[in-house]
Structure 1
Amino acid sequence: MFFYSKCGNPGVPSSKIPAAKKTFGRAFRTVRLAKGKTQEDFVQTSGRTHVSMLERGVNTPTLTTIEGLASELRVHPLTLAALTYAPQPTAEAIASLLERVKAEVAALGAAKFAPSASRSRASSDGRTDEEARSRPPKRPRPRT
């Protein structure tokens, strides 16, 4: 089976499309149908043709596209990602995948990425980021 590019020329055979492209399309379609949405409901977000191409695995969504689609579906973007990368769309497979992600983030030192961590860091003049935003630095008094 061949997919066709936007200009109508034969594209890449379906057997050559990377698995993540195909599984994102299936995950998105599954959630879309479960939510009772049609492709036409995404005209403002992505356009029906783009949605169709995403579902068939022809196009690769950007993060911005995934956020827009998830917003329209009223799900978190990670829901679509989890359904894309889980080996099976079961609660157990999703839980296992999320536990793996949780462990990997913890191993990376997740506190380094938290917005609150940057607020408590002292700047070069000894003030925290929050203090630096709220008042100007102290100027040394001239000696008399």
Structure 2
Amino acid sequence: MSLKSAPPNFGQALRAVRLQRGLSQEDFDEVSGRTYMSRLENQGAVPSILKVAQLAQTMDVHPLTLLTLSFCEKGSASEVNKLLAVVSEEIASFTNLRLGARERRRSV
């Protein structure tokens, strides 16, 4: 499976999880207006990573759940497992990954 095989559909994932949780668009008023929620769900807007985290918190899911489902067609367990295996392999392939470390400027 390639992460580049299909464009992500965040709106589809957002709507599916929202409905699964039994939430209305109005339930997101503290983090987003109903109009913006509609735009997100209909691919008319692209959320920031902070907005993804706020939306996920409202639905009581991890932000990676929304992002993972954005790259799935059906969201089946096997599809999700394949995608997460690819991501896990990619992360494992990074050597000397220094999250949080500032890059030092090299003097010329």
Equivalenced residues, count: 96
State the 1:87 CA deviation.
Answer: 3.9
State the 1:108 CA deviation.
Answer: 1.1
**Map of 2:26 onto structure 1:** 40
- Show structure 1 runs of 5+ residues with no match: 1-17, 119-144
| Residue correspondence of structure 1 range 47-62 to structure 2 within 5 A | 47-62=33-48
Residue 51 of structure 2 is aligned with which of 61, 65, 68?
65
Aligned residues: CA RMSD: 1.8
State the 1:109 CA deviation.
Answer: 2.8
Residue 107 of structure 1 is aligned with which of 69, 74, 93?
93
**Map of 1:97 onto structure 2:** 83
TM-score by length of 2: 0.81
Tell me which of the two structures has the higher relative contact order, counting C-alpha pairs closer than 8 angstroms and 6 or more residues apart. 2
CA distance in 1, matches of 2:77, 2:37: 26
- The sequence identity of aligned pairs, in percent, is 36
Structure ranking higher in strand proportion: 1
Please say which structure displays the higher CA radius of gyration.
1
- Show structure 2 runs of 5+ residues with no match: 1-5, 102-108
Structure 1 pair 103–75 and aligned structure 2 pair: CA distance change class (3 A): same
State the 1:63 CA deviation.
Answer: 0.4
